[in-house]
Amino acid sequence: MGARHGLRIDAVLIQAVIAGALSFAHLHDLAAAAGQDGWKAWAYPVSVDLLLVAAWRRLRSEGPSRLAWCWFLIALFASLGANVATAGFLDLADPPAPLRLGIAGWPALAFLGGTLLAHSSGKPEPVPSAVVTETKDVGPARVPDAAPIPSPADEPPATTALSSPPPPEPPVPAVLIDHARKVADEYRTRTGAPIDTDTLRSRLGVPPHLADAIAARLS
């Protein structure tokens, strides 16, 4: 089975070599008849076959495209035309002017085709994901509701100092209380009114919080 597969591949290669050699020779003979002698006559079949192969590879690698098909058909027509022209339909000893014109203009045409095939791509460039947008109809856009602003009435009442337990009264020595009572009695006797906290503080020379504590003991 493997030997039969190898023979089939060899037969295809041999057939390709024979067909290529004949087409090569026909192109050479046609170019030489059109006045392209020497190495130039040998360069013409190489140029035609290379353009044909380049266009075919472009079709195989990147899929069908107008550019690749256009230059493939141009190279195929040049190769097929040379094979037909050398079959006796034309007098190669005196080729017509259109043939000479075509052979003379082929290098520029082949250079243009090879350049376009080499420096252009049939694949579309990928679009960045950030540019791709959804085109389906998803209905009107809905703006999310803003968070309601709380009113002063909704706010919880602030904790005031009245809700917290009062600080403990500072300790007052009993001697200071007795002295404060004497000062208060003396002030009542002289003025006929109870002594106020500010007067008591100034008479005793104590700080305000201690004066408040002494006044509470005297009341």
Total-model pTM: 0.46
- Rounded to 10°, the helix 97-118/39-62 angle is 40
pLDDT of 191 higher than 80: yes
Residue 6 shares a structural domain with residue 104: yes
Q: Would you place residue 37 in the very low, low, confident or very high pLDDT band (cuts 50, 70, 90)?
A: confident
| Stretch 30-49: mean pLDDT | 85
- Rounded to 10°, the helix 208-218/197-204 angle is 110
Query: How high is the pLDDT of residue 8?
Result: 57
What residue numbers bound the domain in which 73 lies?
2-118
Q: And the tokens for 207?
A: 């700080």
Residue 187 shares a structural domain with residue 107: no
Q: Are 52 and 76 in contact (CB under 8 A)?
A: yes
Query: How high is the pLDDT of residue 154?
Result: 57
Largest CA distance in the chain: 160
Question: Is 196 inside any structural domain?
Answer: yes
**Cα separation, 179 vs 172, whole angstroms:** 12
Residue 204 shares a structural domain with residue 101: no
Residue 87 shares a structural domain with residue 187: no
- Range name among 5-14, 52-61, 201-210 with the lowest pLDDT average: 5-14
Distances (CA, A) of 71 to 101, 113, 122, 202: 19, 6, 14, 117
Which of the 8 DSSP states describes residue 131?
A: T
**Cα separation, 58 vs 70, whole angstroms:** 11
Residue 107 shares a structural domain with residue 14: yes
pLDDT of 56 higher than 60: yes
**Cα separation, 109 vs 124, whole angstroms:** 26
Q: Are 157 and 174 in contact (CB under 8 A)?
A: no
Query: How high is the pLDDT of residue 158?
Result: 53
Residue ending a domain, choose from 102, 118, 134: 118
| Stretch 59-74: mean pLDDT | 87
* Highest mean pLDDT (candidates 86-100, 123-137, 174-188): 174-188
- What rounded mean pLDDT belongs to the chain? 75
Residue 108 shares a structural domain with residue 193: no
Distances (CA, A) of 159 to 150, 153, 163, 165, 167: 18, 15, 7, 12, 16
Residue 93 shares a structural domain with residue 19: yes
> In this predicted model, what pLDDT tens digit does every residue of 108-143 receive, in sequence order?
888 988 888 888 765 555 544 444 444 444 455 554
Report the domain count for the chain.
Answer: 2
The residue with greater pLDDT, 218 or 116, is 116
Question: Is 134 inside any structural domain?
Answer: no
pLDDT of 36 higher than 60: yes
Residue 99 shares a structural domain with residue 182: no
- Range name among 1-15, 79-93, 151-165 with the lowest pLDDT average: 151-165
Q: Which helix (H) or strand (E) holds 111?
A: helix 97-118
Q: Are 72 and 55 in contact (CB under 8 A)?
A: yes
Among 117, 97, 100, 125, which Cα is nearest to 30's? 100
What is the rounded radius of gyration, in angstroms, for the C-alpha atoms of the chain?
A: 57
Cβ count within 10 A of residue 114: 16
Q: Would you place residue 144 in the very low, low, confident or very high pLDDT band (cuts 50, 70, 90)?
A: low
| Stretch 14-43: mean pLDDT | 83
Query: How high is the pLDDT of residue 34?
Result: 84
Query: How high is the pLDDT of residue 130?
Result: 44
